[in-house]
């Protein structure tokens, strides 16, 4: 089994900046503890928030980078890209502020060894009431073009994340994300699939076959309903991860898979969930291997 499984560390996810250094020092300590936990539980990598990185002073960032370098886990992917107050869509978009932020964000992600950033950012990309949806869509395309210039500079891939309608009023399905990626058609712009959002939008996992075949799918997030850890929900209420994994394997998906779940249950459910995910993946993999051709 060559597939690598990681877990998101929800540290500094769109949390307002707090004055004083205690809060930031605590965040750095949280990073160290989180990496240690994931390492002990057997994960292959960690996923961090861009917000965590950008909220740190340069001195604190260097401390965080040192902790990451000392860890056996790498951080190839970061999420929580654009803070809600920095609008990508609407009448108050500031190109200067966006450019400054994109340069800082991608530089710091690159410095910790990151290769990919997930563009969900519902608060930043949601179209304001009364604003033209067509114009908002064009603004997102323009934003992705700006991302491309910095992605080239720092060697970062940007993956468009479809969000359910409770979190954003635009780009709600993998199919819509693929269409957007096809329209901008930029080398560093790809697509993410998240089982949680797909479930809420009643989108079939079969769309992933096209996403993989056409080389748009660059990352996968998994969680059960209510952002619970895979394996935490039992019976009929649980998501069908066997079906999801079957489609990914049959379509020859070669990317990473991260659990993005509620931080409240991180310590208690984290290790058991990874065991469930690996067991389910291996069972599906074994089933495919044992299928004899007609």
Looking at residue 143, its pLDDT comes to 98
pLDDT in tens, 214-230: 999 999 999 999 999 99
Report whether pLDDT(21) > 70.
no
Query: Does this model's pTM top 0.85?
Result: yes
Looking at residue 15, its pLDDT comes to 29
Helix axis angle for 133-154 and 174-184, nearest 10°, is: 70
- Which residue segments constitute the domains of the chain, with CATH numbers given? 5-284 (3.20.20.150)
Beta bridge mates, 119: 160
Q: Name the pLDDT band for 234 (thresholds 50, 70, 90).
A: confident
CA distances (Å), origin 40, targets 262, 267, 272, 274: 19, 11, 12, 12
pLDDT in tens, 135-187: 999 999 999 999 999 999 999 999 999 999 999 999 999 999 999 999 999 99
Taking the alpha carbons at both ends of the chain, their separation in whole angstroms is 25
Percent of the chain as helix, strand, coil, to the nearest 5? 50, 15, 35
Return the minimum-mean-pLDDT range out of 9-13, 35-39, 172-176, 286-290. 9-13
Q: How far apart are CA 97 and CA 290, in angstroms?
A: 55
Looking at residue 266, its pLDDT comes to 65
- The secondary structure element, H or E, covering residue 100 is helix 95-111
The three-class DSSP label of residue 128 is: coil
Q: Which of 89, 21, 95 is nearest to 58 (CA)?
A: 21
Report whether pLDDT(54) > 90.
yes
Q: How far apart are CA 279 and CA 220, in angstroms?
A: 18
Looking at residue 290, its pLDDT comes to 66
Looking at residue 262, its pLDDT comes to 86
pLDDT in tens, 267-292: 778 899 999 999 999 999 988 766 54
For 156, the token pair is 């970062």
Report whether pLDDT(18) > 50.
no
Higher pLDDT, residue 17 or 245: 245
Query: Judging by beta carbons within 10 Å of its beta carbon (0-12, 13-18, 19+), is residue 210 exposed, middle or buried?
Result: middle
Report whether pLDDT(23) > 80.
no
Radius of gyration of the chain (CA): 19
């Amino acid at each position: 089994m060559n597939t690598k499984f990681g877990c998101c560390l929800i540290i500094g996810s769109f949390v307002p900046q707090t004055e004083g250094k205690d809060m930031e020092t605590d965040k750095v300590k949280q990073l160290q503890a989180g990496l240690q936990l994931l390492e002990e539980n057997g994960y292959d990598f960690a996923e961090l928030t861009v917000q965590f990185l950008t909220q740190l002073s340069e001195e604190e960032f260097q401390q965080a980078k040192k902790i990451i370098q000392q860890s056996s886990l790498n951080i190839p992917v970061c999420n929580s890209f654009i803070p809600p107050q920095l609008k990508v869509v609407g009448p108050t978009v500031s190109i200067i502020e966006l450019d400054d932020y994109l340069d800082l964000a991608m530089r710091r992600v690159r410095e910790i060894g990151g290769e990919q950033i997930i563009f969900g950012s519902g608060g930043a990309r949601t179209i304001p009431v009364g604003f033209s949806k067509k114009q908002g869509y064009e603004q997102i395309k323009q934003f992705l073009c700006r991302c491309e210039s910095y992605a080239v500079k720092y060697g970062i891939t940007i993956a468009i994340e479809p969000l359910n309608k409770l979190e954003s009023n635009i780009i709600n399905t993998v199919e819509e994300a693929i269409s957007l990626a096809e329209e901008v058609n930029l080398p560093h712009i790809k697509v993410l699939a998240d089982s949680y959002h797909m479930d809420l939008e009643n989108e079939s996992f079969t769309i992933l076959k096209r996403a993989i075949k056409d080389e748009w799918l660059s990352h996968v997030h998994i969680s059960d309903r209510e952002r619970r850890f895979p394996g935490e929900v039992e019976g009929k209420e649980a998501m069908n991860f066997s079906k999801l994994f079957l489609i990914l394997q049959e379509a020859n998906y070669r990317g990473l898979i991260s659990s993005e779940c509620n931080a409240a249950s991180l310590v208690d459910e984290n290790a058991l969930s990874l065991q469930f995910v690996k067991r389910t993946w291996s069972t599906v993999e074994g089933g495919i291997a044992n299928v004899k051709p007609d």
